[in-house]
Every structure is written in structure tokens, then in C-alpha cells.
Amino acid sequence: MKQLLSTISALGLAIGVSYSATSLAQERLPEIGTAGASVMTIEREQIFGDMYMRQLRAMAPMVHDPVLDEYIQDIGSRIVREAEGVKFPFTFFWINQKDINAFAFFGGYVGMHTGLITEARTESEFASVLAHEVAHVSQRHIVRNMERVSNNSPTMMAAVLGSIILSVINPQLGMAALSGTIAGGQQMQINYTRQFEQEADRVGFDILRRAGFDPQGAVDFFSRLTEKFRYMSRPPEFLLTHPYSESRLSEMRARTALLPRIAPRDESTFLLAKYRVQARYTQTLTESTLRQEMSDPNLPTERVRAARYGLAIFMLDNQRHAEAEQLLKPLITAQPYNTFYLDVQSDILLASQRYEEALALLEKAYIRQPNEQTITINFANVAIEAKQYSLAISLLRDYLQRENDHILALDLLAKAYRLSGDMSTMHGVMAESAALYGAFDQAIEHLHKAHKQTGIEIEKRRLQARIEQLMAQKSLLESISSGSRG
């Protein structure tokens, strides 16, 4: 899968407001569903979130890795299931940045920097950040802040919204604009953001506990992060947008002390995700470090296995395929359906042009777990390389019925149609991919090409209808942007 894992280089992203903390433990939470409704309905929030996500795909170095996507979506889904008042599905995704940061914005979109899982020592620490961001969304903090500003000065509304949009594109400029916009009501802003952070602490803490994670993870992670960067002139972006005062940390410790301790968790999947990130994306693990960990008798077994897995990735990415296969062999023998291992083994077999072996491996896994994204994407990729285009098209079309915004699946499907000679359908698929990046003009151009190349009348009508839909989405994006500048 390595050749499919793509990132889009551009500006990083962090959305939020500067936070500091006071004790608001008894503050009543808002009635979800009505909070912020005067400035933005739930439906409108979803529309804004979708448009921002399209822009983000085009500008941020997003990680399109089915193994890691499956992991973060699994953890995120477990957390969201325990959140109250959720009005829409959540989307969790990765940004390839070594900085320690996480963020959330309209419509249930939650992003995590790869640097954050590198810093986390346990899965509960990692999950505690996700729970905090889910709480921000479920409590509609961005929308409630917009409502507060609107009520205080309705003429500020367009400027505030414009600052938030700019924050999605460029956090430094956006936050500067937002600070300037609200300079006249600065103390009210500080009080509101303190309240929001306290709400996110309390709500996120309860979500974390109900989801089966150890709340001590939140205390450990935020305490360690605060102490580590206490005297630095430029702390991580996460601490700038989520500063933890001693009183706030004390409140978290006191709340945790009242709860029974959670039994130790199985950390094996977390460690595989962490070592995959460190070996391939942040590249913070060296061959010598990984070999040393593999042979350290004092490390737990799951940590040694993760080091072996990380070293196999390191070897694969450095074209040392035979060594990678030898390292992976005992792992995949013990757990033949582990998708972390299957993904690397598929790449090793592809690099050796052992297509039939790879197809047999993935077909067996697919029968056991149909439409699981790591297995499906790898299976389709191998099928294309083996020139079995109809198999790849069948796999991908079926998968996209469930996940129609999957970037890798769309890219592979377009490739399969191109290699099979179906150029009209290829342009139709490329249009959908371009639209996900907010490139509506490019998407419409692809659809015009598809329209010219097909001789099927019903397909022409479908393509024309899709062109009109994309033109409407383009107009919506332009109206949102122009409205925010007005």
C-alpha cells in the first residue's frame, strides 16, 4: 500500500480560540439541539463542515492511509457512541505534522496530527484528546461563540465567520483576525473560552470513561505535556489553543481520584499504529533504535512486536524487501488477518511481483472481512497490478457504495478504468475525486469530457445532472467565502 499513501503538502491547520482555565465545574451544560441555533442550524453546520473539509484536503498534508484511518475511526466511533446529543456522523482524519496538535470544526470533523500519537504513551492518553475534541463539537462551541458575538454586536457576524474560515486555511492569520475582530469585547471572549474548555474537560472526561478508556490517561497526558513545555518560548500549538493551568489540572486529578481504576488495556493495536506513524510519517525511529527495542528483554512483548513491525516498514520503505519479509514473517504467521501486517505483506509481494500469491492472500482475507477498507484497497491495488481490472472495479465500486468520499478508492478506480480503456467512466470518477478537493471547475471539466465520450443517452442525462449539482456546490462555496469577506 506504500505507493498509494499520499499526502497533500501545504499549510497546516488548527481551529479554535485561545483558551485559559477557571473552575466552572457546576456550570450547567447547554441544551444540545438549541445551542447556537439562532446563528447556524445543524444542517447549515454540516454544509459548512463539508465545504471546509474539501478546502482542507487541497491544502493540508493529509494522511490517506487505510490502516491508520481504520484505527482512528474505530477509536473515534467508540467515543462518539458515548457522547450525548450527537446530531451528525463524525469524521476523524490525520494530518502529517510532527507538531502536537488536534482540532475540530463544523459538522463533526476531527483532525489529529501524527505528532500527537507519537507523544502519547498509552491508548487512553491518545483517546483522551479525541474525547476532548468530540466534546467541543457535541457542545457546538464554535457555533455558540458565533452566537455570543452576534448577540453582542450583530455587525461583527460576517467578520467573525470570515476569521473562522481563515483559521481553517491559515491558523496564524485566522486567529490574528479573530482576535482583532473581537478586541472590543476581549474579556467576554476570555470568559466564554474558559467556559468552553471546562465544558470540554468535563464532557470529554465522562465520554472517555464510558467508552472504557482510563480517565487517568487524560491527566497523565495533559500534565506531562504542560510540564514538558512549561518554560519553552513557543509551546506546541495544542497548548496554545488548549492551555492547562494548574487549577484546571488539579480539578482533573480530583475528579479522577474519585473513580475506580480501570484494568490495564491491551495496547497492541495502539502501539502498531504509533510505530507505523513513527517509522513512515514522522520518521522519528531509526533502524538502530528499532533493533535495540526488538532485543530488549525488559520491554513488554507487545512493544517488542511493534518495534519489529516498525522495522519491517523501515526496510520496506528503503527497498530492502527480503529483510522486511523476514521481519514480518513471525508476526503475520501468528496473526494472519491482522490488517497492519496484511498491508505490509501485500506491499512486499507487490514489490517482488508475486501477484498470484498476493491475490490469494487478500482474497482469503476479503472473504473473511468483506469491504474492510485496508483489505479492500490492497486487494484492488494488487488486482490492478496483476491486470485484473474487472476484479478491481468490482471491489472498488462495491466499497464506494458505502464510502463514497474515499480518496484512495476513487484514485484506484479511475486508474482501473483508464487501464481497461473506459475513458468516459474514468473521467466521471476523476470528477468525484476533484470535487472532494473543492476543485469544482476541474470536476465539471472531467464531466464534460465524460459526456462527450459516452454514447449512452441515459448516461449523458446522468452526467448533465451531476454537472448541475457540482455547479450548485461551487456557487455555495463561493457564497460562503464572499459572505465571510463581506
The answer to whether 448 is annotated as binding is no
Label the pairing between strands 91-95 and 109-113.
parallel
pLDDT of residue 321: 97
Once rounded to an integer, what is the mean pLDDT over residues 146-162? 53
pLDDT of residue 14: 27
Rg (alpha carbons) of the chain, rounded to whole number: 24
From the list 201, 347, 372, 411, the catalytic residue is 201
Q: Is 35 exposed, middle or buried (0-12, 13-18, 19+ CB in 10 A)?
A: middle
Q: Which position has the higher pLDDT, 429 or 140?
A: 429
The answer to whether 199 is annotated as binding is no
From the list 70, 119, 133, 237, the catalytic residue is 133
50 labelled catalytic: no
Which pLDDT band, with edges at 50, 70 and 90, does 135 fall under?
confident
Residue 120 has pLDDT above 50, yes or no: yes
Residue 112 has pLDDT above 50, yes or no: yes
Cβ contact 395:364 at 8 Å? no
Residue 179 has pLDDT above 60, yes or no: no
The DSSP code sequence of 77-99 is HHHHHT-SS--S--EEEEE--SS
Q: Cα–Cα distance between 235 and 242 in angstroms, integer?
A: 11
Question: What contacts 361, CB < 8 A, 6 or more positions away?
Answer: 342, 345, 346, 349
**DSSP code at position 242:** S
Cβ contact 251:201 at 8 Å? yes
Q: What is the pLDDT of residues 180-213, one digit of tens each?
A: 443 444 433 434 466 777 777 788 888 998 999 9
Least confident of 145-159, 282-296, 339-353: 145-159
Q: Cα–Cα distance between 378 and 350 in angstroms, integer?
A: 10
Once rounded to an integer, what is the mean pLDDT over residues 141-152? 63
- Phi, psi values for residue 63, rounded to 5°: -95, 120
Which pLDDT band, with edges at 50, 70 and 90, does 256 fall under?
confident
343 labelled catalytic: no
Residue 15 has pLDDT above 50, yes or no: no
Q: Cα–Cα distance between 347 and 343 in angstroms, integer?
A: 7
Q: List the beta bridge partners of residue 63.
A: 94
Query: Does the predicted model carry a pTM greater than 0.95?
Result: no
Q: Cα–Cα distance between 402 and 231 in angstroms, integer?
A: 48
% helix / strand / coil in the chain, to the nearest 5?
A: 70, 5, 30
Residue 178 has pLDDT above 50, yes or no: no
**DSSP code at position 29:** P
Q: Shortest CA distance to 486 belongs to which of 261, 159, 58, 166?
A: 159
User: In this structure, what C-alpha cell is assigned to residue 343?
Assistant: 498491508
The answer to whether 293 is annotated as binding is no
